[in-house]
Structure 1
Amino acid sequence: MKTSWLLLLALAFPLSGLASDLPCYNAPSQAGLNACAASEFTKADQQLNKVWKAILVKYKDQPVFLEKLKASQKLWLQFRDAEVDAHFPIDKGEDATQYGSAYSMCVSQAQTELTQQRIQQLQAWLNGAQEGDICAGSIKNSADLK
């Protein structure tokens, strides 16, 4: 039962080609795989922070937008954590042993996937909107961002 559940878990969070291309995912131990996944999440989080800071600079002339974006980001962080918790629910007082030794790797991979999705969402404000896009809202025209 546990094996089939872990298989389903692995299918629920595909590595999107990410892990297979990384040398550290060839680690000979689960501890090495866990460390690799944690490192990948750290890299994704650092990239998210770079995108975030670039938006703050490019949109410093739009304080209302930045206030709204900060509120959105705060809620996104809560969503990310809740989404991961929904995939790996643990009651208070329990530990994660029910998910096996791959638990921390799976959590890191889920966090990485969601963080990469958020980077793509935020990237729209750095890439800019096409001239005439009437639904671009707060996204500056791409010509104005150069």
Structure 2
Amino acid sequence: MKTPWLFLLALALPFCALAAEPQSSCTDSPTQAGLNTCASSDFTKADQQLNKVWKAILVKYKDQPVFLEKLKASQKLWLQFRDAEIAAHFPVGKGEDPATQYGSVYPMCVGQLQASLTQQRIQQLQAWLNGVQEGDTCAGSIKPSTDLK
């Protein structure tokens, strides 16, 4: 049998490549501080993505100033909602330290919730970038996908 190891190597390479990719799972950290940092990083990435979507909407809809005014008001209220939602999940009295009440997991939990809420908002805003099918009479300010190219 001629060089079976080459055949085995060829089979194993894709799996080695997958194993070599950095994992982004926050569950991989062995410490709470690492988990907290990872969750904060996930929120930062989601926030950056939200800002990219936001800027793209501003460009694509620059010809609709009334819509943009209303969307800006909506976004301002969404930010208030996000913060209020987090406060409702982790209520603390004035002057109290949330880490005392919720422990060392508090920053991780907040980061995870912030990232989740931000991802939901990205999905909502993405509709204005994706567009709708021509003839969707209930699309409102969302342009047909044929107009967005």
TM range (shorter): 0.7 to 0.9
C-alpha displacement of 1:22? 2.4
Counterparts of 1:12-31 in structure 2 under 5 Å? Answer: 22-31=24-33
Asked whether 1:121 is paired with 2:127, we answer no
Q: Percent identity?
A: 80
Match of 1:46 in 2: 48
Alignment gaps of 5+ in structure 1? 1-20
Summarize the alignment of residues 100-119 of structure 1 with structure 2, pairs less than 5 Å apart: 100-119=103-122
Counterparts of 2:86 and 2:26, CA distance in 1: 23
Measure, in 2, the Cα distance between the counterparts of 1:23 and 1:105.
Answer: 13
Deviations 1:41-86 (A, max 9, x none): 0000000000000000000000000000000000000000000000
TM score, norm. by length of structure 2? 0.83
Distance 2:80 2:146 in 1: 34
CA RMSD of aligned residues (A): 0.9
* Pairing partner for 1:79 from 66, 78, 81: 81
Give yes or no for the alignment of 1:95 onto 2:108: no
Which TM-score applies when normalising by structure 1? 0.84
Alpha-carbon separation, structure 2, partners of 1:127 and 1:80: 24
Gaps of 5+ in 2: 1-22
Query: Which amino acid in the other structure matches residue 145 of structure 2?
Result: S
Which residue does 1:13 correspond to in 2?
Answer: none
Q: Distance in 2 between matches of 1:141 and 1:28?
A: 48
Could you tell me which of 19, 26, 38 is aligned with 1:36?
38
Q: Which amino acid aligns with 1:77?
A: L
Distance 1:23 1:110 in 2: 15
The whole-number CA distance in structure 1 between the counterparts of 2:124 and 2:85 is: 17
- How far does residue 98 in structure 1 lie from its aligned partner after superposition? 1.0
The alpha carbon displacement at 1:23 in A equals 4.1
Does 2:134 correspond to 1:134?
Answer: no
Equivalent residue pairs, number: 126
